[in-house]
Amino acid sequence: MYNFEEELAKYGLTQEKYEQLLKDCSNKVQHITDDDWSEICARYGLEFNPDTIRKGSQPPLIGSAFVSEYYKWKESLNQSENKDDEYFEKLRLEKQEIQKEKRKLYDERLDINRRLREEARLETTIEKIDDMLNSIADNRYITYNNNFSIEQSDNDMIVCLSDLHLGATYYNFDGYYDSNIAKERLNQYLAEIIEIQKTHNAENCVVLLLGDLISGNIHSTISVTNKENVIEQVKLACEYISDFVYELGKHFNNVELRGVSGNHSRIQEKKENALLGERLDSLIVWFIKSMLKNADNIIVYDENIDETVSTFIIRDKLYFGVHGDFDSTNSTSIAKLALWVKMTPYCILCGHKHFPAMTDVSGIKVVQSGSLGGSGDEYTRQKRLTGKPSQTVLIVNNKGIKCCYPIELD
């Protein structure tokens, strides 16, 4: 085996010059050029007889065996170079993949840090809200000083709070409403409830929030009549309802607060884009639960089987509370609701329509409560709808509904 680099160096040749020499010799033999053999020798500085080149008998430079081995050697170098190129290309691709993974890891780390910061801010905000609610509970809604007890009775009460639409403001010939008027009507409603309690000696009370506690901001016609923004509306709802329930607690052995969400409290304007769980009525109930924690005889239930349905039992009778935007009062809708919940209720209570009503659908009682605002807003005026502000109270016992009070408010 030749060391071709050393052999060529003996004659002062490089690989390039050697290959050019072989090409010139080939061209001479094939009569492609008119070069003389001596000229070829002189061109490459070869100090031997030109006939030696012509005959191809000079080993190892011109001999056929040497030339053949040379090209085999060169081919092996090319293969080695190709293998090196493939290896380096593989390394380059692997390096790219490593860089990609490093970038993905960096992005994931950034995303994790961002989410951790957001969670930390959220936790801090929740802690501040919790501290604020605890402060309100400890200073405003303290444990009752008077130790009273209603005599054992056959009667309990259901108090509906439906469609308060707090934040709406309008003053028209067919109706008027604002936050102050809402507070006055709630106080009037509270006084009526206390009188009804005395009449029937109702022992316990379930306050049922039937949705649309705030006006919200889901339509342009609503935005026009809103005096307070949505945040202020939530604050008003928490304050007004907490005051209302806290005062009721002074007149009953036990008070339960339950609620469902209405369409006006959804965050998205368009119904098809709104998630059921993203309705501010649920947040209001959660706030009120913290605010009334010191009232021993008041229990706030902030969990339902669904944000739109509340189920509860009073004296062995099953009741449903719904807002009414998903559930109509016809037999088909009532049957679908019962099948969906997988229970058949004795009575379904709802709001949404803004007027009081009571009916029976296939043996299921349906009670519809009114609205605190009545008519006079942009929607009712455009639709030529009229109605007085009202809410509904039920006296119930082990047989079911004993009497129903649709209470009109000034």
Q: Are residues 331 and 224 in the same domain?
A: yes
Q: Are the C-beta atoms of 137 and 290 separated by less than 8 Å?
A: yes
Q: What integer pLDDT is reported at residue 283 of this predicted model?
A: 86
Q: Are residues 333 and 194 in the same domain?
A: yes
91 assigned to some structural domain: no
Q: Does residue 116 register a pLDDT over 90? A: no
Split at pLDDT 50, 70, 90, the class of 274 is very low
Which of 332, 373, 335 shows the shortest CA–CA distance to 351? 373
Mean pLDDT throughout 212-228?
62
Split at pLDDT 50, 70, 90, the class of 224 is very low
Domain edge (last residue) among 43, 62, 81: 62
- How many domains does one find in the chain? 2
Q: Are residues 387 and 279 in the same domain?
A: yes
In the DSSP assignment, the letter for residue 389 is -
Q: Can you list the pairs that 135-138 forms with residues at least 24 positions away whose Cβ atoms lie under 8 Å?
A: 136/291, 137/290, 137/291, 137/292, 137/293, 137/294, 138/294
Q: Are residues 160 and 57 in the same domain?
A: no
Q: Does residue 145 register a pLDDT over 60? A: yes
Q: Is 123 exposed, middle or buried (0-12, 13-18, 19+ CB in 10 A)?
A: exposed
Q: What integer pLDDT is reported at residue 5 of this predicted model?
A: 78
Q: Are residues 209 and 315 in the same domain?
A: yes
pTM over 0.85: no
Q: What integer pLDDT is reported at residue 65 of this predicted model?
A: 72
DSSP string, 75-111: HHHHHHHHHHHHHHHHHHHHHHHHHHHHHHHHHHHHH
Mean pLDDT throughout 23-27?
82
The half-sphere exposure of 246 on its side-chain side, counting CA atoms within 13 A, is 22
3-state helix, strand, coil in the chain (%, to 5): 45, 20, 35
**Angstrom distance (rounded) from CA 72 to CA 147:** 111
10 assigned to some structural domain: yes
Tell me the residue ranges of DSSP E strands in 95-180: 156-161, 170-172, 175-177
Residue 297 belongs to domain with CATH number: 3.60.21.10
Which residues span the domain enclosing 27?
Answer: 4-62
Q: Residue 396 to residues 198, 247, 288: CA-CA distances in angstroms? A: 14, 21, 25
Domain edge (last residue) among 36, 62, 88: 62
Q: Are residues 29 and 178 in the same domain?
A: no
Q: Percent of the chain scored above 90 by pLDDT?
A: 45
SS3 of residue 39 by DSSP:
helix
Q: What is the pLDDT of residues 40-59, one digit of tens each?
A: 888 888 877 777 776 664 55
Mean pLDDT throughout 379-390?
87
22 assigned to some structural domain: yes
Split at pLDDT 50, 70, 90, the class of 125 is low
